[in-house]
């Protein structure tokens, strides 16, 4: 892996590198697709394991992470990039990797739908994947109010009730012959 990392450092501007739980390198969004192509075509990282996002609302950024695998050497590497977090309904934008791995289009559709991140020219990116007819703030963004959405969308039904978790757990876990500890 050290040889691969040296080759990557020689070719790309690595902004940050961690080795805590595997190798993760952070690069500029402009370098991601070139780096992924290099890792796939030259270094043998032929399998895209996943593409995911994290909403860093306080920093006004989305973190995108591509996890790639070299099946011959049994090595994995994470490639991270930070993009600006748009104000919805505007969308944040990242280049597509679907030409490298066809499976990337599914991940990109999910991130488009759930975070509002656009991958221009990615096939079917604007077609619903999970949320048909959804026209609200994407639900994986941290400013999406899950409780408010739930209260406005779902109605109370007969037979449902809410328990205070603390009281319930005390009664279930600590009740001994009618007394609490």
Q: What is the pLDDT of residues 90-129, one digit of tens each?
A: 999 999 999 999 999 999 999 999 999 999 999 999 898 8
Kind and range of the H or E element at 25?
strand 23-27
Q: How confident is the model at residue 177 (pLDDT cuts 50, 70, 90)?
A: low
Measuring CA to CA, which residue among 70, 63, 110 is closest to residue 84? 63
The answer to whether position 170 is within a domain reads no
pTM: 0.82
User: Is residue 20 a part of any domain in this protein?
Assistant: yes
Q: Which residues pair with 114 in a beta bridge?
A: none
* Mean pLDDT, the chain, integer: 91
> What is the spatial distance between Cα 127 and Cα 133, in angstroms, rounded to a whole number?
10
Tell me the pLDDT tens digit for each residue of 41-87: 999 999 999 999 999 999 999 999 999 999 999 999 999 999 999 99
Contact 136, 161 (CB under 8 A): no
The answer as to whether 53 is a domain residue is yes
CATH assignment of the domain containing 117: 3.30.460.80
Per the domain annotation, does 171 fall within a domain?
Answer: no
Domain of residue 142 covers 2-155
């Amino acid at each position: 892996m050290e040889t691969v990392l040296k080759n990557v450092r020689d070719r790309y501007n690595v902004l940050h590198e961690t080795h805590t739980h595997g190798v993760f390198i952070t690069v500029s969004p402009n370098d991601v697709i070139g780096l992924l192509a290099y890792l796939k075509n030259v270094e043998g990282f032929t399998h895209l394991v996943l593409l995911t996002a994290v909403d860093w609302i306080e920093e006004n950024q989305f973190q995108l992470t591509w996890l790639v695998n070299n099946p011959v050497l049994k090595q994995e590497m994470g490639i991270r990039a930070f993009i600006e977090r748009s104000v919805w309904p505007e969308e944040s934008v990242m280049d597509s990797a679907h030409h490298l791995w066809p499976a990337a289009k599914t991940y990109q559709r999910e991130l488009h739908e759930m975070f509002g991140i656009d991958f221009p020219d990615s096939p079917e990116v604007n077609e619903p994947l999970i949320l048909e007819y959804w026209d609200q703030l994407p639900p994986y963004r941290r400013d999406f109010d899950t409780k408010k959405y739930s209260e406005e969308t779902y109605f109370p039904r007969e037979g449902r009730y809410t328990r205070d978790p603390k009281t319930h757990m005390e009664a279930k876990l600590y009740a001994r012959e009618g007394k609490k500890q």
